[in-house]
Chains A and B, each alone.
Chain A
């Protein structure tokens, strides 16, 4: 009997023991078994082997294998990390879309902003624009909401229906984190303009331009706003002309504190004439020292509360919330 034959027989016998042969196979094997003593012996031996294995006793576990919370924590961790990763990914997508919309919106506002600037500052309109155009980043950086001029405030009032909207928008702005990278051109360009603002409004170019405009001067004084610091307000739009770079600089000016922007917005809300000038002078130099920290609610005053801007802001806020949730989930999970 060849080894191969033996192997086949073993397989047949093995399946036979388990009752896994077809009816044909079984009857064929059984008739062979009747005539083949050696095959019968093989069957007996294999059966005895299987019986021995089956009779092996159940063992007693050497210890308890009960689970501790630590053992199964990785499950939660894994879920949390997956969740965080998805949240972060979603946040990035939302950020892209949000800023994309915002950029579009800003470009739109840019054209409007210039036309309004010309109409408001006719005497020095040309010069004003010349002064503003090249320093768009600066302007956006030094755009301190508290120094809004009266005319600007009115424009805003027209655009913004209710103060509540502004408030909520300002609160939403608090979610904005200033990016860690600051666009390089913003700082050097910032210095001359704000320095001028610090020195004396009448000596700075923009200051002179404002001084020429009596109406503006009046409102500025009435509001106790330093004219020089008002100039940046007009330049809200330019950053968008710089495209992504402009947006970066723009974003860099996102205010960590809300106090100033809130107060600004409230002042707009109440039409401003009696706004106390007390803290304005101290605030106006701020851009020079810490331009990044200047309070700037850019989308609110510049972009009218239209659906695009709101959508963009909502998307960005959603993204930030998602990011915060993702980070918080990881932190909480680690502490558990």
Chain B
């Protein structure tokens, strides 16, 4: 969080674009990550990120204190949802798209102790998880990302998507189960608990 975040917000609320751009720079990785996790690919994620910041600037007057990051991410998630509905794309991402996704994923800083093989495996696992998330329906994806990546509470998500707590709970569990099952395809990359399960099954 920026030290002078509130001051920047207040300036931005008075129309100071430079102040707002300071906030953009502070949060663009966060916003882009959320957008990428939900959208599943870099191009849409960048579009949504840009749109989200534009929308955030326009709606600054509706920000009434509180966690600015959460406020920003809610706008982003909403923007993702609109975009997903707009393009009505199938959740599946083709195998051909995966190589491109590699560079999109950005530098996931590896542990210094990791061997190059481990780094590669880590990358592959992350990509596999992202692919599995992208296979989910839009509704499930948004709930999953907001909960497990951004750490929003059930209630916050319910408010965000305009659903009740039961719906959030149900969608989240289906989304998690979906990713769990999807990951069986790359079980060699997974922690032992997955391999154990697959052996039992």
Q: Kindly supply a per-residue 1/0 record for chain A positions 66-107, scoring 1 wherever the CB is within 8 Å of any chain B CB and 0 otherwise.
A: 110101100100000000000000000000000000000000
Nearest opposing residue in chain B for A13, CB measure: B173
Instruction: Give the 3 A-B CB pairs with smallest separation, nearest first.
Output: A14-B173, A57-B108, A59-B106
The stretch that binds A, out of B80-88, B92-100, B174-182, is B174-182
Q: Could you tell me the distance between the alpha carbons of A99 and B106 in the complex, rounded to whole angstroms? A: 68
Is B144 an interface position by the 8 A CB rule? yes
User: Are A57 and B109 in touch, CB under 8 angstroms?
Assistant: yes
Q: Is the CB of B21 closer than 8 A to any CB of chain A? A: yes
Please state if B144 and A62 are interface contacts (CB–CB under 8 Å): no
A9-26 vs B, Cβ < 8 Å mask (1 yes, 0 no): 011011100101000000
Whether the pair A61, B172 counts as a contact (CB closer than 8 A) is no
Which segment of B3-11, B27-35, B62-70 sits at the interface? B27-35
Q: Please determine whether B25 and A66 come into contact, CB atoms closer than 8 angstroms.
A: yes
Q: A11-B173, A56-B37 are in contact. Are A65 and B49 (CB under 8 A)?
A: yes
Q: Is the CB of A50 within 8 A of B28?
A: no
The 8 A CB mask of B157-189 against A (1 = contact, 0 = none) is 000000000000110111011011001000000
Rounded to whole Å, the gap between the CB of B20 and the closest CB of chain A is 7
Most A C-beta atoms less than 10 A away, residue of B25, B54, B173: B173
Give chain B nearest CB distance to A271 CB in angstroms.
Answer: 58
Contacts A48-B191, A53-B129, A69-B17 given; does A62 touch B172 at CB 8 Å? no
Chief secondary structure at chain B's binding surface: helix
User: In the bound complex, how far is the Cα of B147 from the Cα of A53, in angstroms?
Assistant: 10
Neighbouring B residues of A57 by C-beta, 8 Å: 105-106, 108-109, 126
Which residues of chain B come closer than 8 Å to A65, judged between CB atoms?
24, 28, 31-32, 46, 49-50, 53
Known: A52-B183, A56-B129, A62-B104. A75 touches B57 (CB 8 A): yes
Distance to closest chain A CB from B37 (angstroms): 7
Q: How would residues 17 to 59 of chain B score, 1 for a CB under 8 Å from any chain A CB and 0 otherwise?
A: 1001100110011111100110000100010011001100110
How far apart sit A62 and B104, CA to CA, in the bound complex (Å)? 8
Indicate if the CB atoms of A14 and B32 lie closer than 8 Å.
no
B33 contacts A59, C-beta separation under 8 Å: yes
| Cross-chain contact of B32 among A48, A49, A59, A71 (Cβ < 8 A) | A59
Q: How large is the interface on A (under 10, 10 to 19, 20 to 34, 35 or more residues)?
A: 20 to 34
| Smallest beta-carbon distance A82→chain B, Å | 13
A-B contact pairs, 19 of them (CB 8 A): A10-B176, A11-B173, A41-B197, A45-B180, A45-B193, A46-B176, A49-B183, A50-B176, A52-B183, A52-B190, A53-B129, A53-B176, A57-B126, A60-B107, A62-B46, A64-B28, A66-B24, A66-B25, A67-B17
CB < 8 Å A-B pair total:
128
Count of residues in B whose CB is under 8 Å from the partner chain: 54
CB closest chain-B residue, reference A17: B176
The answer to whether B173 and A15 touch across the interface, beta carbons within 8 angstroms, is yes
Instruction: Choose one: B30, B57, B133, B177; the contact of A46 (CB below 8 Å).
Output: B177
User: B181 → chain A, closest Cβ, in Å?
Assistant: 9
**Do residues A41 and B148 form an inter-chain contact, with CB atoms below 8 A?**
no
**Could you say which residues of chain B place their CB within 8 Å of the CB of A71?**
50, 54
Given contacts A52-B125, A59-B105, A75-B58, 19 further A-B contacts (CB under 8 A): A10-B176, A14-B173, A14-B177, A44-B197, A46-B176, A48-B190, A49-B179, A49-B180, A53-B129, A53-B176, A56-B37, A59-B29, A59-B104, A61-B29, A61-B46, A64-B25, A65-B49, A67-B20, A75-B57
Q: Is A2 an interface residue (CB 8 A)?
A: no
- Fill in one digit per residue for A27-64: 1 if any B CB lies within 8 Å of its CB, else 0: 00000000000000100111011101110111111111
- By a CB distance below 8 angstroms, the chain B residues around A10 are 173-174, 176-177
Report chain B residues within 8 Å CB of A20: 154, 169
* Mask: chain B, 136-155; 1 = CB below 8 Å from A; 0 = not: 00000000100111000010
Is B71 engaged at the interface, CB distance under 8 Å to the other chain?
Answer: no
A48: chain B residues within 8 A (beta carbon):
190-191, 193-194
Cβ-based interface call for B114 (8 A): no
Which one, B33, B129, B173, contacts A58 given CB within 8 A?
A: B33
* B54–A59 CB distance below 8 A: no
Q: Is B130 an interface residue (CB 8 A)?
A: yes
- The reply on B200 being an interface residue by CB < 8 A is yes
B28 touches A18 (CB 8 A): no
- Is the CB–CB distance between B24 and A67 below 8 Å? yes
Q: Closest B-chain residue to A60, C-beta based?
A: B106
The chain B residue with its CB closest to the CB of A57 is B108
The CA of A260 and the CA of B20, in the complex, are separated in Å by 56
